[in-house]
């Protein structure tokens, strides 16, 4: 049996690695595409929020109070005083992106604010700031001016401050921040990559051979059907793991670019990566076995791909559970549920909240589940009605 299983594994490896185009599209291209896409996305988002420090904004103001003139002149802007009759023209310039900001103060603003009594009612003095939110420089000027006015308003009746010192009040460590970001993104991405890798090889190996008629040749040999099933699952799992590893590597390398350099993968230890690898390996075995069984019922690759779609939806839904699950959903009993346990363990590794027993239970359950599914695939290989259906 061992010799027959190794023969199947060699056959699958020869078919896959012998086809350079298949190897490139399945293993190399996913990682390269993900790295390029995420890197370009990160650079694009950074450029969207970046502003040119040398840029001098075209700013307009009506009824500028003398008290505000020194503060406004410190901004990187060329201020122009306008009259009430000119404001409509300035607003049109803002819409056409020919100006950056227009600030309209009420007449005698400072004295009006000083004499205004909140308890007496009436309309409070209102400063109007017109800008264009689609322009980064215009948005920057709006934020700066609003900040100045907010500070001025607070100074009029300020009784106490909150976090006014230079002390760092956020006690979250860099490790905690990285863990939060990774735990939120990577379990879903990993499950997506692993499922895509399994989908790219399993239907071709099972349904594809049925469609071409080559599976019949294997079934008439004296080879045990269990050896055929195990050989298929093990070889396909290795290939799918390569595809998933490529995608994962591309994601890990591109995440610092996507998040503007705010994540540091060095916070994870060798133990963390070893545990993650164990979870990934056991998860791939389950996914390949599931897709192989579905493919065994299909008559063609196209039919197999269609039949696997509900499973893909289920995997995507499960991969989102860490965003909504609480402590009840993380009880040890829930780690006996295949795929769900994998997602929770991935989340635990990335968030530094995993428990060793959960990891052990997950790996054992996934391996046993893959073994049961392999036995089921063997039964399907023994069924002529299933394997020779037209």
Cβ contacts of 171-179, under 8 Å, gap ≥ 24: 174/264, 174/267, 175/267, 175/352, 177/262, 177/263, 178/263, 178/264, 178/265, 178/267, 179/267, 179/350, 179/351, 179/352
Per-residue CA distances from 51 to 42, 60, 141, 274, 374 (Å):
16, 20, 11, 42, 58
Pair of tokens at residue 69: 């003139």
| Tens digits of pLDDT across the chain (390 residues) | 677 788 888 888 887 788 787 777 777 777 777 777 767 766 655 555 455 557 888 999 999 988 888 888 888 899 999 999 999 999 999 999 899 999 999 888 888 877 877 666 667 788 899 999 888 888 889 999 988 888 877 776 654 555 556 665 565 677 777 788 778 878 888 888 888 888 888 888 888 888 887 777 777 777 887 888 888 888 888 888 887 777 777 767 776 666 555 566 677 888 988 898 889 888 988 998 899 899 988 888 889 989 999 999 999 999 988 877 554 456 888 899 999 999 999 999 988 888 999 999 999 999 999 989 988 888 888 887 777 665
Task: Provide DSSP, 32-56.
Answer: HHHHHHHHHHHHHHHHHH---TT--
Per-residue CA distances from 81 to 84, 138, 156 (Å):
10, 18, 26
List of domains in the chain: 2-45+174-387 (no CATH), 57-155 (3.40.190)
Report the alpha-carbon distance of residue 126 to residue 357 in Å, rounded: 62
* pLDDT at residue 212, as a whole number: 81
Task: Provide DSSP, 332-360.
Answer: GGGGGSTTHHHHHHHHHHHHT---HHHHH
* pLDDT at residue 48, as a whole number: 52
CA angle (77, 83, 86) in 5-degree steps: 85
Residue 102 bridge partners (DSSP): 60, 130
Q: pTM of the full predicted structure?
A: 0.67
């Amino acid at each position: 049996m061992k010799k027959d299983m190794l023969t199947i594994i060699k056959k699958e490896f020869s078919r896959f690695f012998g086809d350079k185009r298949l190897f490139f599209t399945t293993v190399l291209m996913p990682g390269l595409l993900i790295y390029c896409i995420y890197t370009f996305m990160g650079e694009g988002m950074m450029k969207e929020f970046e502003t040119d420090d040398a840029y001098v904004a075209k700013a307009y103001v009506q009824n500028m109070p003398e008290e505000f003139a020194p503060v406004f002149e410190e901004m990187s802007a060329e201020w122009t005083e306008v009259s009430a009759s000119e404001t409509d023209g300035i607003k049109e310039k803002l819409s056409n992106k020919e100006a950056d900001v227009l600030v309209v103060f009420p007449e005698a603003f400072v004295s009006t604010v000083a004499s205004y009594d909140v308890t007496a009612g009436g309309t409070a003095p209102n400063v109007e700031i017109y800008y264009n939110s689609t322009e980064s420089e215009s948005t920057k000027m709006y934020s700066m001016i609003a900040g100045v006015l907010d500070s001025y308003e607070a100074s009029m009746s300020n009784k106490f401050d909150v976090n006014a010192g230079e002390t760092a009040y956020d006690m979250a460590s860099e490790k905690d921040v990285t863990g939060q970001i990774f735990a939120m993104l990577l379990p879903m991405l990993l499950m997506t990559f692993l499922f895509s890798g399994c989908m790219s090889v399993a239907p071709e190996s099972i349904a594809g051979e049925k469609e071409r008629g080559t599976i019949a040749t294997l079934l008439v040999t004296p080879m045990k059907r269990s050896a055929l099933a195990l050989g298929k699952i093990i070889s396909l799992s290795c290939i799918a793991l390569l595809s998933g590893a490529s995608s994962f590597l591309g994601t890990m390398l591109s995440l610092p670019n996507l998040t503007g350099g705010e994540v540091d993968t060095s916070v994870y230890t060798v133990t963390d990566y070893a545990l993650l690898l164990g979870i990934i390996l056991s998860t791939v075995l389950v996914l390949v076995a599931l897709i192989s069984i579905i493919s065994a019922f299909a008559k063609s690759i196209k039919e197999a791909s269609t039949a696997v779609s509900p499973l893909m939806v289920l995997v995507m839904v499960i991969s989102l559970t860490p965003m909504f699950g609480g402590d009840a959903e993380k009880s040890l009993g829930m780690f006996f549920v295949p795929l769900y346990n994998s997602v929770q363990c991935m989340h635990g590794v990335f968030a530094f909240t995993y428990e060793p027993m959960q990891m052990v239970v997950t790996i054992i359950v996934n391996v046993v589940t893959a073994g049961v599914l392999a036995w089921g695939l063997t039964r399907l290989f023994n069924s002529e009605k299933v394997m020779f259906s037209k």
